[in-house]
Amino acid sequence: MQLELNIDHIEETEKIAKAFSETLGRGDILCLQGDLGAGKTTFTQFLCRSLGVEEYVTSPTFNIMNAYEGMVPIYHFDVYRISEPDEMYEIGFEEYLYGRGICIVEWANLVDELIPDRAIWMTILLNLEGTRDIKVEGSEPFIFKLKEHLDKIENRLERKDQTL
């Protein structure tokens, strides 16, 4: 099942990341794909903050994986520089995919044969106007739960605006 979203402002990225943080759980895998500069790392920064990570989140382009402690362990991979998917076995990628944390994999399409079917896929497309289109693909229960959290966040924001 899939969900399509459009974002005009960075605050909307933060809102979507918050909804993801309330939907993802231990053992989940979030695969991010999109062009350079589309917002994969920015989304990951917001997501990690929403999951209680206090340190600054950077893209692990050169060391392939950064681990963060939040409400759950978070394993952030950037596989942009991987020349062969088999290289991922050398760092124990499978152990993380089937572990007790949340895996976030930027450029996951480059190692898609290693990604389990249960993964959630997010594609971020940067439009000419600077807006972004986001497509989320995952299981039906995940998408329904994500929509539910997005609606709750939107309602909280609307109520907050009305009280100003």
| pTM passes above 0.85 | yes
pLDDT in tens, 49-73: 999 999 999 988 888 999 999 999 9
Confidence band (pLDDT; 50, 70, 90) for 159?
A: very low
Confidence band (pLDDT; 50, 70, 90) for 83?
A: confident
Domains of the chain: 2-162 (3.40.50.300)
Q: What pLDDT does residue 155 have?
A: 74
Average per-residue pLDDT in the chain?
92
Q: What pLDDT does residue 63 have?
A: 84
With CA atoms as reference, report the closest residue to 66 among 44, 99, 40, 33.
44
Distance from C-alpha of 81 to C-alpha of 60, rounded to nearest angstrom: 10
